[in-house]
Structure 1
Amino acid sequence: MICHIVMFKFKEFAEGRSKAENLAEAKRRMLALREEIPEIVSMEVFLGAPGSADTNYDYILVSTFRSMEEMLRYQKHPSHVAFGNFVKALREPDGRASIDYELKE
């Protein structure tokens, strides 16, 4: 199993909406991918707690896949690509970090 974690730091205001509005919409759109992309085994999205440090990330995605190949298919899926384009306009230029690691059984 592969665990894929991605974190974003959102702009305070983007695309005519506040950070809070964009975070809620990004979470909604990401979780909708569970129904569209069969390679996803599990997926959770968490938003940073109000009042946390300004240097913290605002959004975290934790997802799992049966293999690296399935995770790579997920990343190329048109719905995921569209989500990536959507989020790119909302996040800080350097506001993305990620890791993929193998879960030991």
Structure 2
Amino acid sequence: MIKHIVMWKLKNPGDAAKFKAQLDSCKGLVPGMREFEAAVRTEGLEANVDVVLVSAFDDRAALQAYLEHPVHVEVSGVLGGLRESRTVLDYET
């Protein structure tokens, strides 16, 4: 299984709910996607980022299919303009 974790710091933290809604439109896009959870920072709890995505895929091929899926590509283009920075970690379990 491949875990795919992405974290974003937004230019305007007030856009977090809109950002998450766009991410949520990618849930279930490809076979082999096991987990998909997008979340925004919780006021009063420690956070260095505004939005996080924790997802899991059966294998590298499923992750690659997700990354290349037209909906994901479109959403990434929209979200790119809202972010200040992006951090990603993919790892096998």
With structure 2 as the length reference, what TM-score do the two structures score? 0.88
Query: Post-superposition shift, 1:52?
Result: 5.5
Q: In the TM superposition, what are the counterparts of 1:55-74 in structure 2 within 5 Å? A: 56-74=48-66
Question: Where in structure 1 are there 5+ consecutive unaligned residues?
Answer: 13-18
Q: Secondary structure at the match of 2:33?
A: coil
Q: In the TM superposition, what are the counterparts of 1:1-105 in structure 2 within 5 Å? A: 1-12=1-12, 19-20=13-14, 22-51=15-44, 56-92=48-84, 95-103=85-93
Query: Post-superposition shift, 1:45?
Result: 1.0
CA distance in 2 between counterparts of 1:76 and 1:61 reads: 17
Query: Post-superposition shift, 1:23?
Result: 1.2
CA contact (8 A) 2:2 2:59 kept: yes
Give the greater-gyration-radius structure (CA). 1
Q: Secondary structure at the match of 1:33?
A: coil
CA contact (8 A) 1:46 1:59 kept: yes
Question: Where in structure 2 are there 5+ consecutive unaligned residues?
Answer: none
What is the one-letter code of the residue matched to 1:37? V
CA distance in 1 between counterparts of 2:18 and 2:34 reads: 22
Residue 15 of structure 1 corresponds to: none
Q: Secondary structure at the match of 1:6?
A: strand
Q: Tell me the percent identity.
A: 33
What is the one-letter code of the residue matched to 1:74? Y
